[in-house]
Chains A and B, each alone.
Chain A
């Protein structure tokens, strides 16, 4: 499995370059800073094992292909080019036929549909080594969850080939926007990572901002003007029950995020014009002040082990990124480049911090190590902001807003090498995405 380790290292460096193998050599990945050549794969329509499964069999294969191709690391070989037809899930694979069309990975699958349940099976093959990669797997669920099962197939394939965790079976909570710039209406929405299955969680009678998932994805923190004044709220995603987290008159609370154990909220509280960082124990309501400075301290985010908090402060004269212990205390500045740095978010893998950078009239999404070294800007535009990490820590989603009177926000994703910039399809304008953990 040196092949996998090499690929993992390549991904870690953001330098993935699968190279077409010479015939009869096993799947091989070479690290190269040059142009990425996506790995060719084939996903024939899954086999419908009974009546009523045909549509799922076709649609699931399409979602699997879309997930993998959407990473920019894989390229699908279309069905028209296939020589071999897969007629049964357990039939031997005609490796020569797949080699002939240069497919390096092959995914086969089958679907059974019966009433309120569908069963999806799949296998992944390394075509050039003529071997199955990992065990075949089976998922069962309701017909409504067919896309989730497709995402699980794609996650397994992605994970086996790259050595990274998957991220396709995940949700994104965001702010859906409508109306002109000076009368923007906002409401909370939640959707699959690829923009499908949108549900709206609030109406747009009050401004809502910056929702964040709990570590298990069952609750959402956000800022709302429901009471007339901005304050943080906690919503249960299942019941939509929402409660204010101890709003105090004369203060504004905003920028909330969960601690990794889901028991604590870290956020900003503004009083008399000054914003500092606090934590709130959700069960007891106990409030603790972590910073105490006349400057703006905001956008706090826990490290995944819960021991540290990264945040932004303008204590030096403009926005910069700092790290402090989870209980507060002395903070060390980690951002050192030109310009202003804000909205730091700790990677779920703990290895990097994503941020928004503002420099010379442009906005960038970037990543840096947690000590501030190896800063890398991934995007540039009139206005990019608010990064959120995919559950595997290898892809970032963010808000991009266009300039001018007709300016609109949309959701974009980019991988941590700065490659594969894509817009997520949403019904209307959208902002402030926050990625859920991988679903169970």
Chain B
């Protein structure tokens, strides 16, 4: 019985240490343990008006925050390069944003391999953005492997949208 409270304390401590946490899927407010106060890991940020061309909403919708990949590939398609060229241009104009590039895989693969594959995809995007003049110091990559699909069916229609790299913005590139 003493094990669980210790685990919660430990995790609470880790949560505090991880405030600026890009693990936004898992972050905070899980509820089961009632940790909802400070340090619960919820980062709040206004997304702005999608009609404001400097907003994250504009970037996500109008510039396009993601590129898709073929099965088991990390090579950028011509369409993907077009989207990323647009991202690079926008990111240079809006230089206050920090950038995390998430690499994802579909569920057709083993867990470890998909983590490595997601990392390859994120790195392909990062390399392209660097080649287009985005400062490497603003960017980090993270792989979610097959852990965070956005589409849940087990068909190619879903898989094709899950094989993606997503450029996620937050304030604070100057740090």
Do A404 and B154 touch across chains, with their CB atoms under 8 A apart?
yes
Of A55-63, A74-82, A147-155, A204-212, the one touching chain B? A204-212
Known contacts A184-B147, A203-B33, A226-B18, A405 near B153 by CB under 8 Å: yes
- What separation, in Å, do the CA atoms of A319 and B112 have in the docked complex? 11
Min Cβ gap A115→B in Å is: 20
Min Cβ gap A370→B in Å is: 20
Known contacts A239-B6, A404-B153, A273 near B111 by CB under 8 Å: no
In this complex, the interface size class of chain B, counting residues with CB under 8 Å from chain A, is 35 or more
B22 part of interface (Cβ distance < 8 Å): yes
B89 part of interface (Cβ distance < 8 Å): no
Known contacts A182-B149, A273-B119, A207 near B25 by CB under 8 Å: yes
Known contacts A254-B112, A268-B116, A226 near B154 by CB under 8 Å: no
- What separation, in Å, do the CA atoms of A178 and B21 have in the docked complex? 21
Docked complex: B151-173 residues within 8 A CB-CB of A: 151-154
Docked complex: A327-353 residues within 8 A CB-CB of B: 342-343
Which B residues are CB-close (under 8 A) to A185? Answer: 26, 30
B123 part of interface (Cβ distance < 8 Å): yes
- What separation, in Å, do the CA atoms of A270 and B150 have in the docked complex? 24
Do A228 and B20 touch across chains, with their CB atoms under 8 A apart?
yes
Do A342 and B154 touch across chains, with their CB atoms under 8 A apart?
no
- What separation, in Å, do the CA atoms of A184 and B113 have in the docked complex? 19
Do B30 and A205 touch across chains, with their CB atoms under 8 A apart?
yes
Nearest A residue to B143, CB-CB: A252
Q: Contact mask B10-29 → A, CB, 8 Å, 1/0?
A: 11001101101111011110
Do A342 and B22 touch across chains, with their CB atoms under 8 A apart?
no
Do A181 and B113 touch across chains, with their CB atoms under 8 A apart?
no
Do A252 and B115 touch across chains, with their CB atoms under 8 A apart?
yes
Do A385 and B26 touch across chains, with their CB atoms under 8 A apart?
no
Min Cβ gap B4→A in Å is: 7
Which A residues are CB-close (under 8 A) to B18? Answer: 206, 226-228
Of A9-17, A64-72, A103-111, A194-202, the one touching chain B? A194-202
A241 part of interface (Cβ distance < 8 Å): yes
Kindly name the residue among A181, A255, A382, A383 whose own CB sees the greatest number of chain B CB atoms within 10 A: A181
B110 part of interface (Cβ distance < 8 Å): yes
A303 part of interface (Cβ distance < 8 Å): no
Which A residues are CB-close (under 8 A) to B175? Answer: none
Do B108 and A181 touch across chains, with their CB atoms under 8 A apart?
no
Min Cβ gap A29→B in Å is: 37
- What separation, in Å, do the CA atoms of A226 and B30 have in the docked complex? 14
Q: Contact mask B99-136 → A, CB, 8 Å, 1/0?
A: 00000000111111101110111111011000000000
Which A residues are CB-close (under 8 A) to B144? Answer: 207
Min Cβ gap B163→A in Å is: 15
Do A200 and B123 touch across chains, with their CB atoms under 8 A apart?
no
B70 part of interface (Cβ distance < 8 Å): no
Kindly name the residue among A223, A240, A312 whose own CB sees the greatest number of chain B CB atoms within 10 A: A240
Interface size on A, residues (CB 8 A): 60
Do A385 and B123 touch across chains, with their CB atoms under 8 A apart?
no
A279 part of interface (Cβ distance < 8 Å): no
Which B residues are CB-close (under 8 A) to A405? Answer: 152-154
- What separation, in Å, do the CA atoms of A230 and B143 have in the docked complex? 8
B74 part of interface (Cβ distance < 8 Å): yes
A299 part of interface (Cβ distance < 8 Å): yes
Q: Contact mask A271-300 → B, CB, 8 Å, 1/0?
A: 011110000000000000000000010110
Known contacts A207-B147, A252-B142, A298 near B11 by CB under 8 Å: no
A229 part of interface (Cβ distance < 8 Å): yes
Do B10 and A240 touch across chains, with their CB atoms under 8 A apart?
yes
Known contacts A205-B41, A227-B18, A382 near B154 by CB under 8 Å: yes
Q: Contact mask A166-201 → B, CB, 8 Å, 1/0?
A: 000000000000001111110000000000000111
Nearest B residue to A270, CB-CB: B119
Do B142 and A230 touch across chains, with their CB atoms under 8 A apart?
yes
Do A228 and B154 touch across chains, with their CB atoms under 8 A apart?
no
Which A residues are CB-close (under 8 A) to B27? Answer: 205
- What separation, in Å, do the CA atoms of A356 and B30 have in the docked complex? 33
Do B112 and A273 touch across chains, with their CB atoms under 8 A apart?
no
Instruction: Identify the 8 closest CB pairs spanning chains A and B, nearest first.
Output: A273-B123, A403-B154, A275-B116, A342-B110, A296-B116, A405-B152, A181-B152, A228-B21
Q: List 6 A-B contacts (CB under 8 A).
A: A240-B7, A273-B120, A273-B121, A273-B123, A299-B110, A319-B110
Binding site for A on B (CB under 8 A): 3-4, 6-8, 10-11, 14-15, 17-18, 20-23, 25-28, 30, 32-33, 35, 41, 72, 74, 107-113, 115-117, 119-124, 126-127, 140-144, 147-154
Binding site for B on A (CB under 8 A): 180-185, 199-207, 209-210, 223, 225-230, 239-242, 249-250, 252, 254-255, 268, 270, 272-275, 296, 298-299, 312, 314, 318-319, 342-343, 356, 358, 382-383, 385-386, 401, 403-405, 407, 432
